[in-house]
Structure 1
Amino acid sequence: MDGISLQNPLMETYAIAACLMILKAVSMSWLTVWRMIREKGGYRSPEDLRRTRLNPSPDPRQIEPNERVERIRRIHQNDLENIPFFLVAGLLFVLAEPPLWLAWLLLYGYVASRLLHFVAYFTAQTHDMRANLWTAGSLILIFMTLWALVAALVA
């Protein structure tokens, strides 16, 4: 194995999956701002009601919860609760040198589950739909973590 190098196909697979998940999580901040600007509301802090170039007509209702903005915040919160575990578990899994086909299946499977979870949440699908997609990602995390744990225990 080429170790921690992008010349290593396992590490390359992890790097791609990790970068996609980081970009997805970071993009939620941008999506929140875009949604607040579009809705002209959903702000959180009293100082957001000051007249500025971006908010020329402040209104006290702008700091009231806005469901369309809050939905994005909930998606972002869910990412922040889940993606860091993937980043660590995925790295440990790759360091345990699984077969490349298994790394592709699990790492990209996790990415797919998170992207589908986003679509389901963004389009207001039922909790059951979101829960199924979350469960798939969670089971992948558990499997990768156990694989790495067993590899570390027998090393």
Structure 2
Amino acid sequence: MPDTTDAATPFPPAPDDKAALEEGEELTPRFDANGLVTVVVTDASDGAVLMLAHMNAEALSLTLSTGIAHYYSRSRAALWKKGESSGNLQTVHEIRTDCDQDAIWLKVSVAGHGATCHTGRKSCFYRRVETGTGKARLAADQGDTPRFDPNKVY
């Protein structure tokens, strides 16, 4: 297969051969129609799910080359170095991809306050969905209280 990588798309296209995609050694992320791949981020030390985000090819390339997590913000339509303004940079310890390379899993440690969420909490997943009353409601996880005041950081 010829190398079709360039500066805008530093990854080769996904192979047509399913076995090569699922069992091969080449990283060929399958970006969606918007040029994004979904990223699950967990704490490298305790496995807690910290956040769900997206990467474009540039964000993934920067993450691979620097060891610091970069994402693509859909709401801002911009590249985003996680923790750049808060000091809560995410150092990547391991990167995995799923079987068909359309999702990425990062295992990270978080600097600064150790918080990933812009609300100041360790995890963006700090609320449970409860359905016992017949209506779905959100209940805060008392174990994940804010580690910093977002109004003072942002």
TM class by shorter-chain length? under 0.3
Larger relative helix fraction: 1
The structure carrying a bigger strand percent of its residues is 2
- Structure with more contact order per residue of length (Cα contacts < 8 Å, sep ≥ 6): 1
- Please say which structure displays the higher CA radius of gyration: 1
The two structures have a TM-score, normalised by structure 1, of: 0.25
